[in-house]
A and B are shown apart, each in its own frame.
Chain A
């Protein structure tokens, strides 16, 4: 079974600074997706960024980028120019792409990000 570990329960960053959230995962599969989701106080999970395991290039979405190290099974999220609206719980998630009944997300326990003005 796949597992996702987020070793930082809480992180804080100053507005306009850069912060990196860590995520490691364990799997024996070679075809999968990794995600970062954001959950603000409104509770709604919002997809931040997605990475396909077969793509060597790290995904980027505006101020959000990832460092995907497949051999090390590491998937960190970098937030540049942090804004007050980035404050939220961030979840790392894994999804198999092997088909069948495996289309479910496995989440880490989350990292609570605080942005200080």
Chain B
């Protein structure tokens, strides 16, 4: 069974540009979570989608946005990129929000230059 897959693995963008990161959850999982892992800051919760709806949002500016598609895959969009957005972005999926175990992908390393 395929795990959580994220694409691309690496992404280099210029300040001010937009970045789109993609996540495919494990088959049957309806919940997708996005986390930002910046150097020295641990993992910060970004967004939670379940059944196509945004359920919760972390303390990030509105230029961080996303969506979940009918097949439960998800996209994270970051507009007007800033240097501080450089980080590893991790996606996790679970059977549903109430399920305690979430499975993580290998992340997208975003570098803003």
Which residues of A does B touch, CB under 8 Å? Answer: 33, 37, 42-47, 50, 91, 93, 95, 97, 99, 101-110
Which secondary structure dominates chain A's binding surface? loop
A105 touching B45, Cβ below 8 Å: yes
Kindly report which residue of chain B lies nearest to residue A104, judged by CB atoms. Answer: B45
- B104 at interface by CB-CB < 8 Å: yes
B56 touching A91, Cβ below 8 Å: no
Contact check: which of A45, A99, A106 meets B92 at CB < 8 Å? A45
Contact with A along B77-101 (1 / 0, CB 8 A): 0000000000010101000011011
Bound-state CA distance A13–B1 (Å) is 35
- B48 at interface by CB-CB < 8 Å: yes
- B65 at interface by CB-CB < 8 Å: no
Contact with A along B27-51 (1 / 0, CB 8 A): 0000101010000111111001000
Known contacts A45-B104, A104-B33, A108-B42; A99/B48 CB under 8 A: no
Bound-state CA distance A31–B24 (Å) is 30
Which residues of B does A touch, CB under 8 Å? Answer: 31, 33, 35, 40-45, 48, 55-56, 58, 88, 90, 92, 97-98, 100-107
Within the complex, the shortest CB–CB distance from B49 to chain A, in Å, comes to 11
| B residues less than 8 Å from A101 (CB atoms) | 48, 55-56
| A residues less than 8 Å from B90 (CB atoms) | 43, 45
Contact check: which of B33, B40, B106 meets A44 at CB < 8 Å? B106
Known contacts A103-B97, A104-B56; A110/B42 CB under 8 A: yes
Within the complex, the shortest CB–CB distance from B66 to chain A, in Å, comes to 14
| B residues less than 8 Å from A33 (CB atoms) | 100
B88 touching A109, Cβ below 8 Å: no
A43 touching B107, Cβ below 8 Å: yes
Bound-state CA distance A108–B45 (Å) is 12
Kindly report which residue of chain B lies nearest to residue A110, judged by CB atoms. Answer: B42
